[in-house]
């Protein structure tokens, strides 16, 4: 097998693409798209998002130390793209994309009603890493839409039809290949 050697770059793809909702202390709300998001700890539950400081929402996160990660779906793909290319400085993205802000339980930033899962977060640390700053945050509440629960009250990811992002393109997710531990399960 022949391989090409490329200059160093981020090749960890595909990535979850999420809508991050924020609010400032005056109550102004915004939503923006982030593909640099991830799980960083299970106990306590923690996530990270990386944001460029020039983004409109950056100052809102800095001011309040709060945000909500809203998972995206095939139905939200157009809004996900729009919220990544339009600035909240110039347009009300909630209004333009017909997204419904809902009050959160633990943070001032709104949940997005159309998202199947909303993850309320409080920033514990910011790391300045170059063109992006990473916000490390503790998960303080999670909301799952009952429409995506199976008969055992387990969240059915396939039913939600999540999307991912890779090199400028949005993709749907494929079929499940197995569950954790399937490689060592007794036959």
Q: Which tens digit of pLDDT belongs to each residue from 19-76?
A: 999 999 999 999 999 999 999 999 999 999 999 999 999 999 999 999 999 999 999 9
Sheet holding 169-172, edge to edge: 15-16, 163-166, 169-172
Q: What is the CATH number of domain 15-172?
A: 2.30.110.10
What DSSP state is assigned to residue 76? G
- The pLDDT of residue 9 is 82
Q: Hey, where are the domains in the chain?
A: 15-172
Burial 79-97 (b: 16+ CB within 10 A, else e): bbbbbbebebeeeebbeeb
The mean pLDDT value for 116-142 works out to 98
pTM for this structure? 0.94
């Amino acid at each position: 097998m022949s391989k090409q050697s490329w200059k160093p770059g981020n090749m960890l793809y595909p990535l979850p693409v999420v809508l991050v909702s924020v609010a400032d202390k005056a109550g102004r709300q915004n939503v923006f798209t982030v593909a640099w998001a991830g799980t960083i700890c299970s106990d306590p539950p923690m996530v990270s998002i990386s944001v460029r400081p020039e983004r409109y929402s950056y100052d809102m996160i800095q001011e309040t130390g709060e945000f909500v990660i809203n998972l995206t779906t095939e139905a939200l793909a157009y809004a996900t793209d729009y919220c990544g290319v339009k600035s909240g400085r110039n347009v009300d993205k909630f209004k333009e994309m017909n997204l419904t802000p809902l009050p959160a339980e633990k943070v001032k930033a709104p949940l997005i009603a159309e998202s199947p899962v909303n993850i309320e977060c409080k920033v514990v640390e910011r790391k300045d890493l170059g063109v992006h700053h990473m916000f490390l945050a503790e998960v303080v509440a999670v909301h799952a839409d009952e429409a995506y629960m199976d008969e055992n009250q387990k969240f059915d990811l396939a039913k939600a039809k999540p999307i991912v992002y890779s090199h400028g393109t949005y993709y749907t997710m494929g079929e499940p290949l197995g569950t954790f531990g399937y490689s060592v399960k007794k036959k």
